[in-house]
């Protein structure tokens, strides 16, 4: 939409900002289980970063550089979330029962891994996909 030629500084900075925002969103996503954050927040923040890029660089440019199909992203997210539930179901536990344990990983030290993280990843993907779909369908609608 806003696509003026004379905003050089803005364009340079927005790239940096977008990278920072995406990084921060990923941090929020991972810290979700133990600190404020999680799939919803991380997903929405990622969506905002992509949207900001769209605002600055225009629809066609970003569509080339970020060729995601957001509908697929939503489906994958939903399937992922449902899938974690089914695993525990097959194992004889109630649907969507989550498991966690602590592992000793090189470089990271002791890390807690939970199946809830996979579930949250599903949430993340779906939220990004849905938020982008909502806005892009309108923006791309020419008629």
Binding positions for other proteins, rule: CB under 8 A: 1, 28, 32-41, 44-45, 47-48, 51, 55, 71, 74-75, 77-78, 81-82, 85, 95-98, 100, 112, 114, 116, 119-120, 122-123, 126-127, 129-131, 133-135, 137-139, 141, 143
Q: CB-wise, 2 or 19, nearer to other proteins?
A: 2
Q: CB-wise, 26 or 75, nearer to other proteins?
A: 75
Please say whether the beta carbons of 84 and 115 come within 8 A: yes
Q: CB-wise, 65 or 143, nearer to other proteins?
A: 143
The distance of closest approach from Cβ of residue 79 to other proteins in the complex, given in angstroms and rounded to an integer, is 10
> Each residue of 56-90: b (16+ CB within 10 Å) or e?
bbeeeebeeeeeeebeebbebbbebbeebbebbee
- The span from the first CA to the last CA of the chain, in angstroms, equals 15
């Amino acid at each position: 939409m806003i696509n003026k030629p004379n905003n050089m500084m803005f364009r340079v900075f927005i790239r940096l900002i977008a990278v920072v925002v995406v990084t921060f969103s990923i941090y929020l996503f991972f810290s979700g289980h133990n600190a404020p954050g999680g799939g919803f927040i991380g997903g929405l923040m990622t969506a905002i970063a992509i949207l900001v890029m769209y605002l600055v660089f225009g629809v066609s440019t970003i569509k080339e550089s970020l060729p995601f199909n957001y509908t697929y992203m939503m489906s994958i997210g939903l399937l992922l979330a449902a899938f974690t539930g089914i695993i525990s179901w097959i194992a004889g536990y109630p649907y969507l029962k989550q498991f966690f344990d602590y592992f000793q990983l090189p470089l990271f030290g002791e890390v807690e891994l939970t199946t809830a993280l996979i579930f949250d990843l599903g949430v993340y993907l779906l939220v990004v996909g849905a938020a982008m779909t909502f806005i892009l369908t309108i923006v791309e609608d020419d008629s």
